[in-house]
């Protein structure tokens, strides 16, 4: 009963944000509705990541294959791994109800992004999907340790949350000089952004995980990704990543475990 009461309280607090966002940004409202419909349509689709076990590999093998680096280089990068602690959020009634918590990145993705960023030393990285910004912070810290690189992020916050409450909440102020955030629908923001900052060294999809959205983002970023650049995708939970990798003639890599219903996908551009 206590948990339900807290959820109801949080929803009431969020209602004014939904109304303000809908009135101030009708295009964001339309986009959220489109994405919601896509998610509901895919809930009934059958996808078993185990059907693609031929592409599975461990994180170490994934990094060394993607970058052509040694095991020693991977071990050094992994030893330098850093992740932020989330600052306290006074507007959340309890930790389990922190806005955006359900969208936090998995540990395996953070470690993968950290290692690749430290070894590849990107000049430009682009990501879609920020939420509280754990992966964002990990990439920025790796760039800061490298003394090199800039991260461009695109995020469409859920209508019930204020952008300044949720987006990038975990990113330390000391790292923001390497970060540019653009808020809005990926389909509107991403095409212009990738052309502006091209060539891209790393592209990470971690936004809407439906077939149309994922395929659209891969196809938008790929032409602007340099040869030797890496395309990463969290939540490979449909065949979009597999289909795209085949379409560009690259064998996909899937970092997955038996306990997870989806995988992190990775490919390198020839």
Whole-number pLDDT of residue 53: 92
Residues with Cβ within 8 Å of 169's Cβ and at least 6 positions away in sequence, in order, are 86, 87, 89, 100, 132, 133
Identify which of 112, 9, 118 has the alpha carbon closest to the alpha carbon of residue 59: 112
Region 151-179: mean pLDDT is: 82
What percent of the chain is helix, strand and coil (3-state, nearest 5)? Answer: 55, 15, 30
Residues with Cβ within 8 Å of 120's Cβ and at least 6 positions away in sequence, in order, are 67, 201, 202, 230
Whole-number pLDDT of residue 167: 84
Q: Read off the pTM.
A: 0.81
Indicate if the pLDDT at residue 54 is higher than 70. yes
Measured distance CA(230)–CA(211) in Å, rounded? 20
Measured distance CA(58)–CA(55) in Å, rounded? 10
What is the band of 112 on the pLDDT scale with cuts at 50, 70, 90?
A: very high
Domain map of the chain by residue range? 2-85+99-268
Indicate if the pLDDT at residue 113 is higher than 70. yes
Residues with Cβ within 8 Å of 18's Cβ and at least 6 positions away in sequence, in order, are 159, 160
Whole-number pLDDT of residue 157: 76
Indicate if the pLDDT at residue 142 is higher than 90. yes
Name the residue with higher pLDDT: 32 or 185: 185
Measured distance CA(39)–CA(237) in Å, rounded? 11
Percent of the chain whose predicted confidence (pLDDT) is above 70: 73
Measured distance CA(127)–CA(136) in Å, rounded? 8
Percent of the chain whose predicted confidence (pLDDT) is above 90: 59
Range name among 3-12, 27-36, 68-77, 249-258 with the lowest pLDDT average: 3-12
Whole-number pLDDT of residue 152: 98
Q: Could you give the C-alpha distances from 249 to 68, 88, 189, 232, 242, in angstroms and in order? A: 18, 46, 27, 16, 11
Identify which of 204, 144, 154 has the alpha carbon closest to the alpha carbon of residue 178: 144
**Assigned superfamily of 2-85+99-268:** Vaccinia Virus protein VP39 (3.40.50.150)
Whole-number pLDDT of residue 6: 36
Region 96-110: mean pLDDT is: 67
Measured distance CA(167)–CA(18) in Å, rounded? 16
Indicate if the pLDDT at residue 134 is higher than 80. yes
3-state secondary structure of 225: strand
Region 132-158: mean pLDDT is: 94
Range name among 62-66, 200-204, 211-215 with the lowest pLDDT average: 211-215
What is the band of 26 on the pLDDT scale with cuts at 50, 70, 90?
A: low
Indicate if the pLDDT at residue 23 is higher than 90. no
Measured distance CA(66)–CA(120) in Å, rounded? 10
Measured distance CA(93)–CA(143) in Å, rounded? 34
Side-chain half-sphere of 35: how many Cα atoms within 13 Å?
19
Instruction: Quote the DSSP letter at residue 221.
Output: H
Whole-number pLDDT of residue 96: 42
Region 217-240: mean pLDDT is: 96
Q: Could you give the C-alpha distances from 129 to 46, 72, 133, in angstroms and in order? A: 24, 31, 9
The pLDDT mean for the chain works out to 83
Whole-number pLDDT of residue 174: 97
């Amino acid at each position: 009963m206590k948990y339900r009461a807290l959820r109801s309280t949080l929803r009431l607090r969020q209602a004014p944000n939904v109304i303000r966002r809908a009135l101030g940004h009708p295009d964001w409202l339309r986009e959220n509705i489109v994405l919601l419909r896509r998610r509901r349509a895919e809930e009934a689709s059958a996808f078993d990541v185990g059907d693609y076990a031929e592409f599975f590999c461990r994180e170490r093998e994934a990094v060394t294959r993607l970058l052509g680096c040694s095991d020693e280089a991977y071990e050094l990068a992994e030893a330098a791994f850093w992740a932020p602690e989330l600052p306290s959020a006074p507007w959340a009634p309890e930790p389990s109800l922190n806005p955006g918590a359900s969208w936090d990145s998995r540990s395996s993705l953070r470690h993968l992004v950290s290692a690749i960023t430290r070894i590849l030393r990107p000049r430009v990285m682009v990501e879609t999907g920020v939420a509280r910004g754990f992966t964002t912070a990990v990439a920025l810290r790796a760039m800061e340790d490298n003394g090199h690189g800039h991260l461009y992020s695109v995020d469409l916050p859920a209508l019930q949350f204020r952008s300044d409450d949720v987006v990038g909440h975990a990113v330390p102020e000391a790292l923001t000089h390497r970060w540019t955030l653009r808020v809005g629908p990926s389909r509107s923001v991403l095409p212009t952004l990738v052309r502006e900052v091209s060539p891209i060294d790393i592209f990470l999809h971690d936004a809407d995980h439906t077939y149309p959205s994922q395929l659209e983002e891969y196809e938008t970023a790929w032409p602007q990704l340099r040869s030797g650049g890496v395309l990463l995708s969290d939540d490979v939970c449909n065949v979009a990543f597999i289909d795209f990798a085949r379409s560009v003639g690259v064998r996909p890599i899937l970092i997955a475990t038996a306990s997870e219903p989806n995988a992190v996908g990775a490919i390198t551009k020839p």
